Structure formats: C-alpha cells, structure tokens
Amino acid sequence: MEKVNILNLNGEKIKDKKLNESVFGITPNDKVLYDAIILARASLRQGTHKTKNRSEVSGGGRKPWRQKGTGHARQGSIRAVQWRGGGNYGTPVPRDYSKKQNRKERRLALKSALAHKAMDQTIMILDELVFATPRTKEMVNLLNLLQIADKKCLIVVKDFEENVILASRNLANVAIIDTSEINVLDVVSADVLLFTAEALEQVEEVLS
C-alpha cells in the first residue's frame, strides 16, 4: 500500500504513514457504492409534497347543467380536472423515499469510496488541527499552504475543536465531520480528504 505524508500546519512533512490495506487497498465495488449514493441522496428527500385531487377540493356538489340540450359538453362537476379550480390528477402525494441497504454493504461502500480516494491520491494527513484563534484567515492560510484552497475539502477529525469549527464555517468549500459521521456521500463529493492522524487511525480501526 502506498505511503502518505503526514504534514504539520505549515505544510511540512513530518513523517509518512502506510495506509491500511484492508480499508484503502481493496478493489472498490462500484455497484455497492452506487447503491449507497442513491440511498444517501434519497434519504435527503422529505417526501412531503402534496396536491389536492378531485375528492379533496371544495365545491362541485351538483351537476353544472343538464346532460342534454344545452350545446355544451356534458359535465358532472365543476371540480373535475379540466376545470379551473378543479382537482389534480396524477400529481405528487406524500411518500417515503428512503431505501435500505445491508450493514455489510454500507460498510463495503464506504471502504470502496475511501479506496477510490486512495487510488486518486487525494488523501492528506495532518499531524494535528488546532488553531490559536477562531478566524477564517487561519483556515484559508492552511488550505493555501496545502495547495487545496480551490478544491472542495472534507476534513475528518476525531474530536471537534471550537476554533477550527468557527474558522471554517464561512468557507463554502470546506466541511468538517468527526469520525462517527464519515459517510459515502460526503467522501465521494469531496475533491480532497483531509484526515488528522488520530482520526485516520480511528477510521482504520473501525473499518479494518
């Protein structure tokens, strides 16, 4: 398995680390990964859309005119679908979009996503991530030193640090999650995965 440099906050190499073969070195299962992405995106849909059908709109209790002899087309109600103010046909109703996937498949999907990132060499490791002040400039400087300021970056930490959260929340291309929140959709959506050394060890321990 390829080695990845562990960097400090100045972007300088401290040492290198060999990624866990059983997590980052597997052959990705693209079918399971695709299913996991569909599941994650479906779970974001609320499914609360609703329009009224013919039985739910008010009015239209009597026939608007007699059946024959008027010269008009026959009509049974002014709340039929062809009338203004009538009910809708075939329109959305509340539904549950959620899908299911086995636990082993979800685990394999996450490992497959991480393996793709390893193959693309878009994984970086920081020795630690601690800022002295909660300023956005701190995070911007770090991203510039790591040469990833123009990329969508997912930062994975073991424990949240308040100054880091405050320094990154105004940056649209930066997301911070802890190891318990790591998921397929965030991993595949990011251009770069930035782990702290502690977070990487914990992820490897859980998934290996």
- Average pLDDT (151-174) is 95
Asked whether 164 and 96 are in contact (CB, 8 A), the reply is no
pLDDT of 139 reads: 95
Q: Examine the pLDDT at 204 and tell me if it is beyond 90.
A: yes
Burial 147-160 (b: 16+ CB within 10 A, else e): ebbeeebbbbbbee
Q: Would you place residue 166 in the very low, low, confident or very high pLDDT band (cuts 50, 70, 90)?
A: very high
Q: Examine the pLDDT at 208 and tell me if it is beyond 90.
A: no
**Domains present along the chain, CATH in parentheses:** 3-31+101-207 (3.40.1370.10), 46-96 (no CATH)
Q: Examine the pLDDT at 2 and tell me if it is beyond 80.
A: no
- If you ran DSSP here, which 8-state letter would residue 182 be given? -
Phi and psi at 116, nearest 5°, equal: -60, -40
Query: Hey, how many other C-beta atoms are within 10 angstroms of the C-beta on 31?
Result: 11
Q: Examine the pLDDT at 82 and tell me if it is beyond 90.
A: yes
The rounded percent of the chain whose pLDDT value lies above 90 is 91
Q: Would you place residue 6 in the very low, low, confident or very high pLDDT band (cuts 50, 70, 90)?
A: very high
Taking only the tens place, the pLDDT of each residue in 38-56 is 999 999 999 999 999 998 9
> Residue 33 burial by CB count (10 A; 0-12/13-18/19+): exposed, middle or buried?
buried
